[in-house]
Amino acid sequence: MENQAIIESFSDFKEEKNIDRVTLMAIIEEALRSQLVKKFGSDDNYDIIVNPDKGDLEIWRNRIIVADGEAEDDNLEIELSEALKIEPDFEVGEEVSEELKLIDQGRRFVLAFKQNLMQKVQEHDNGVIYKKYKDLEGEILTGEVHHVRPRAVIIYDDEQNELILPKDQQIPRDYFRKGDTIRAVVRSVDLRGTKPVITLSRTDPRFLEKLFEQEIPEVFDGLIIVKNVVREPGEKAKVAVESYDDRIDPVGACVGMKGSRIHGIVRELGNENIDVINYTTNENLYITRALSPAKITSINIDHDNGRAEVFLKPEEVSKAIGKRGLNIKLAGRLTGYEIDVYRDIDEEEDVELTEFTDEIEDWVIKALKDIGCDTARSVLELSVDDLVSRTDLEEETILNVREILRAEFEE
């Protein structure tokens, strides 16, 4: 077996792996030198010539001629009598260059060289893939489902690279089958040994941000900027947008006529409810917009502790909090403030006792109404002693009632 036969497939190999000529030459030489070091202890005195296009590989060993019987290292020195067999006019002290054939190094040497070469090519491929996808972190990719596992979906891109969409990065209502096309954002790229692990996400806020770029031309062109995105995947999201062009309404442009533009994004996210709001540096206004659709009466901001007290009419409180508290939770994450909601009740306002039937028993309410206390404030205006003496109710009962009524005005 000659050198040519051993590496005759280099040209095809180069095309298959999409490795440029210079890189492949360096990989082949590195793999071969590694084997030379293992066999001879050093590769400093070797010249290696590689031409992967033609499948050529030449190995030349350079040794110094010494007198017969004085050679201490056969790898670095050659005795005069041996050198004269190569060239009859060699003398002691000269350097001899001698070509080595791979086949002469033994079968184990050749097999180890091939294995080392494949390993270094794989490391190169892994490095290329790692860099490619590391540069794509935060960007949307499209791939095809290869197979579905209980804890992850395995996706192949156009180059048959493996991408992983873990279960916890899927939207709750996501359901995939083999062959389905998936859009997701590149969440992270890590190395497991030398193998790159590419993790995708459909729950990452960047996925929604990039969907805005893909689906809304003004965002793609930079006329509208997505300032912040917060999500409860599959449930609700809030997106703050801003336009530097006064002629463009950023919210209207993102939503579209009758929601036409945002409809595709909502569908992609499993009917996730998306609130789009105008970004502003006015914190009071920003918090007000973030709590939409609730209408705010007033706001007190504690910048030092990062808290905001928001006052609303009683009928607006449930809107501000939202289903399962999602609206206020997302508003807090969007604005960066811990938001506390309070009912705003004017001094003149009062609440009928009959509104408390869920918390106060009917016979207690009747006893209070019998003494003319029909509203919450009318009860609170009397002292505990007055109420006990006039109603014959137990003091503990009166204290409990007052606590319930007071909470209505303090919330």
Report pLDDT for 411. 54
pLDDT over 50 (residue 1)? no
| Architecture of domain 280-344 in this structure | 2-Layer Sandwich (3.30)
Q: Which residue has the tokens 């083999």?
A: 178
> How would residue 267 be classed by pLDDT, with cut points 50, 70 and 90?
very high
User: What does the CA dihedral 143, 148, 149, 153 come to, rounded to 10 degrees?
Assistant: 20
pLDDT over 90 (residue 409)? no
Mean pLDDT calculated for residue range 42-52: 84
Tell me which of 406 and 276 has the higher pLDDT: 276
Nearest Cα to Cα of residue 122 among 29, 31, 37, 9:
31
Return the CATH fold of 217-276. Answer: GMP Synthetase; Chain A, domain 3 (3.30.300)
∠ CA(342), CA(345), CA(351), 5° rounding?
115
Tell me which of 318 and 276 has the higher pLDDT: 276
The Cα–Cα gap between 312 and 327 comes to 15
Half-sphere exposure of 17 (CA within 13 A, CB side): 25
pLDDT over 80 (residue 6)? no
What CATH number labels 353-410? 1.10.150
Bridge partners for 229 per DSSP: 239
> How would residue 319 be classed by pLDDT, with cut points 50, 70 and 90?
confident
Long-range contacts of 357-361 (CB under 8 A, 24+ apart): 359/404, 360/401, 360/404
Core vs surface per residue 51-60: b (16+ CB within 10 A) or e: ebeebebebe
Half-sphere exposure of 294 (CA within 13 A, CB side): 27
Report pLDDT for 17. 58
Backbone dihedral region for residue 121 (phi beyond 0: left; psi -120 to 50: alpha; all else: beta): alpha
Mean pLDDT calculated for residue range 365-380: 83
Model confidence pLDDT, tens digit, residues 104-150 = 788 888 888 888 888 888 888 888 889 999 999 999 999 999 999 99
pLDDT over 60 (residue 216)? yes
Report pLDDT for 135. 93
The Cα–Cα gap between 89 and 136 comes to 63
| Whether CATH 3.10.50 fits 3-131 | no
Report pLDDT for 16. 55
Domain boundaries, the chain: 3-131, 136-201, 217-276, 280-344, 353-410
The Cα–Cα gap between 335 and 155 comes to 36
Model confidence pLDDT, tens digit, residues 228-254 = 999 999 999 999 999 988 889 999 999
Same fold, 3-131 and 353-410: no
The Cα–Cα gap between 321 and 341 comes to 8
| Chain mean pLDDT for the chain | 86
Bridge partners for 145 per DSSP: 155
Out of 2.60.40.10, 3.40.50.300, 2.40.50.140, 3.40.50.2000, select the CATH number for domain 136-201. Answer: 2.40.50.140
Tell me which of 351 and 172 has the higher pLDDT: 172
pLDDT over 50 (residue 328)? yes
Nearest Cα to Cα of residue 6 among 61, 60, 52:
52
Instruction: Find the helix or strand (DSSP H, E) in which 190 lies.
Output: strand 181-192
